[in-house]
Chain A
Amino acid sequence: MEKFHPYLYFGFIPGFGEYPNVVYSWVVMAFLIVTSLLVPRALQTIPHGGQNVFETLFEAVASFMEGTLGPEGKPYFPLVFTLGVYLFLNNVMGILPGFMSPTSNVNTNIGCALTAFLATHYVGFKTSGWGYLKHFTGPIIWLAPLMVPLELISHLARPLSLTLRLFGNITGEDLVLAVLMLLCLQAFLPLPWAMQLFAIFGSFIQAFVFVLLTMIYIAGSLAGHEHDEHGHEGAHAH
């Protein structure tokens, strides 16, 4: 996919031109690390500047997680927040000239998707132990030979769909922007700023959807446990 990005600033540095997605995701990581180290250095009761930004983001994501996952989802806030901010910055970076979105390469996306996938199963095993395997056998035990392959395929399709959705959206956006830019340059029209604004919106929506689906998968691993508990209680009550 390098042919879609003819001019890359970091591509001119020798040794960095081969895997631009890795280099540009380093840029995002460096930005995030530096800001998150600098901002808490001068915490104040009345926030201003960068502290305001981070507090607003934290509160928004935390309240949204509270609504989706409930109080049990609090330990997974760092994972979700980091994924969201990292993916949003990755998606948005493609709008700047000379930069590319690392998420327009499949490898960046599959890293994030596999992280979400492994985190889901880690949460499942952590909350219900080996009883988590009951998720895969379906409601009745003698349906297990039918249900296990279905569940395996549906669980394995999750990282694939997360990867391809993000990749296709961001690549499609970049392609549409490139085509419109070429058309506008040829016809001496102003640059397609409306499409660029829409690309910012789409970047946000895609990061949001990724994070939302991660949260729903984690909620599935948590909620099955609750359901089993209620079932046992009901059985005892009867």
Chain B
Amino acid sequence: MKLLTTIGFALTTAAALATNALAAAAATPAADGEVLKWRIISSSFALAVAAAAGAVSQGRSIAAALEGTARNPGAGGDLRVSMIIGLALIESLVIYTFVICLIIILG
């Protein structure tokens, strides 16, 4: 219960800070040098985190598919197709982050 209260307090604080930041960003002109700097830093960091998590999960799925193929080579074709679907779905999350980073930097 205490944990829940802590999380709720943290979330409300983050929301309040975010609203303040949004209001500040709306008030200042977009082409400010300081803002551009923080846009580049934040989007690079976001893309790094997304790529790391995506790489770990894609590696896990490829390892599982290879293991299954090694145990039962007859099922290799189906496993490969399912693996590619899963890889595409994992990768799309990283790609969403990339698109959002493009929007942050260029938009």
Contacts and interface: CB of A to CB of B under 8 A. Distances in A.
A169 interface: yes
Given A165-B91, A171-B102, A216 B85 contact: yes
A213 interface: yes
B76 to A, nearest CB: 13
Contacts of B84: 205, 208-209, 212
Interface string A154-179: 00000001001101110110000000
- Interface size of B as a range: 10 to 19
B92 interface: yes
A84 to B, nearest CB: 14
B85 A164 contact: no
A15 B60 CA distance: 50
Contacts, number: 35
**Secondary structure call for the A interface:** helix
Contact of A161 (B77, B81, B85, B92): B92
Given A171-B102, A212-B81, A164 B96 contact: yes
A169 B99 CA distance: 10
A124 to B, nearest CB: 20
**Secondary structure call for the B interface:** helix
Among the interface residues A168, A171, A205, which one has the most CB atoms of the partner chain B within 10 A?
A168
B4 to A, nearest CB: 25
A172 B77 CA distance: 29
Given A67-B77, A169-B91, A212-B84, 5 more contacts: A164-B92, A164-B95, A168-B92, A168-B95, A213-B88
22 contacts: A68-B81, A164-B96, A165-B88, A165-B91, A165-B92, A165-B95, A167-B99, A168-B92, A168-B95, A168-B96, A168-B98, A168-B99, A169-B91, A172-B98, A205-B84, A209-B84, A212-B81, A212-B84, A212-B85, A212-B88, A213-B88, A216-B85
